[in-house]
Amino acid sequence: MNFICITCGTQFVDSASPPVRCPICEDERQYVGLEGQKWTTLDELRRDRHNRIQQEQPDLTSIVTEPKFGIGERAFVLQTGHGNLLWDCISLIDDATVAHIRGLGGLHAVAISHPHYYTSMVEWSRAFDNVPIYLHEADREWVMRPDDSITFWDGETKALFGELMLVRAGGHFAGGTILHWPAGAGGKGALLSGDIIQVVPDRRWVSFMYSYPNYIPLSATGVQQIQRAVEPFAFDRIYGAFPGMTVQADGKAALRRSVDRYVAFISGLRAV
């Protein structure tokens, strides 16, 4: 049985009994729940949860599990004329979700921003004829369910089909990845940022952390590295990790001023 960590949503390699520990949750960027390590399975999730599917813009669909499970992130299906990509991942995959995505043309690949969203990635690949899963090599150690479908890439960028580009920005994890979609936002370009670039409730701004739940900030150098990684790309919109968290316009300027504000505070150049 492939047990799933209730706190982070990661699915583990097949075992007769639940794993003793979840290394992802024991890492300082995450946490073990107040009641200790707990586990579930896909069959249990399917009994009392469903996925809400919503069109975000033409050719971009978000998928969110309700009631919330794990970290609560959203996945995206991005349609191009050369195939469809699942960006980031959620634990729950069910027949209704698979049928909806098949109606969009299926999937040609999966790509994930960082280990907190690996979740049930192998199940998603297998549901769509073992499509490749693209993960950055720097985060290999955090794969809890190895599979032949996983393709590790290295370097700073990786071109996919349909002019999609994976960009290693680091920050939250060494291999932290952002997706650039040139056709997004009506051709002005969009970033799908996971929480490498975190869209905040005041959606004129974004922010950055090493650990969100444990409030560990990134260094000024780490934040500036993220900005440098995406600066060469044109984008007007930023789709963040969580439902509703989207910078709808002027995304590049929002990133620049957010980096400036963050660095000013973290460096002591700006006081409260």
Is the backbone of residue 187 left (phi > 0), alpha (psi -120 to 50) or beta? left
pLDDT of residue 104: 98
pLDDT of residue 269: 75
Centre a 10 Å sphere on the Cβ of residue 135 and count the other Cβ atoms it contains: 25
Do 198 and 207 touch, CB atoms closer than 8 A?
Answer: yes
pLDDT of residue 106: 98
pLDDT of residue 270: 76
pLDDT of residue 264: 96
pLDDT of residue 132: 98
Do 25 and 8 touch, CB atoms closer than 8 A?
Answer: yes
| Mean pLDDT of successive 10-residue stretches along the chain, which has 272 residues | 98 96 98 95 98 98 98 98 98 98 98 98 98 98 98 98 97 97 98 97 97 96 98 98 98 98 90 69
pLDDT of residue 138: 98
Cα–Cα distance between 70 and 58 in angstroms, integer?
Answer: 28
Beta bridge partners of 159: 165
DSSP 78-112: EEETTEEEEES--S---HHHHHHHHHTT--SEEE-
Name the class of domain 4-266: alpha beta
pLDDT of residue 268: 83
What pTM does this model have? 0.97
Q: Is the dihedral of CA 240, 244, 245, 246 positive or negative?
A: positive
**Strand 177-181 with 190-194, pairing:** antiparallel
Cα–Cα distance between 83 and 80 in angstroms, integer?
Answer: 5
Strand order in the sheet with 133-136: 50-57, 60-66, 75-80, 83-87, 109-111, 133-136, 150-153
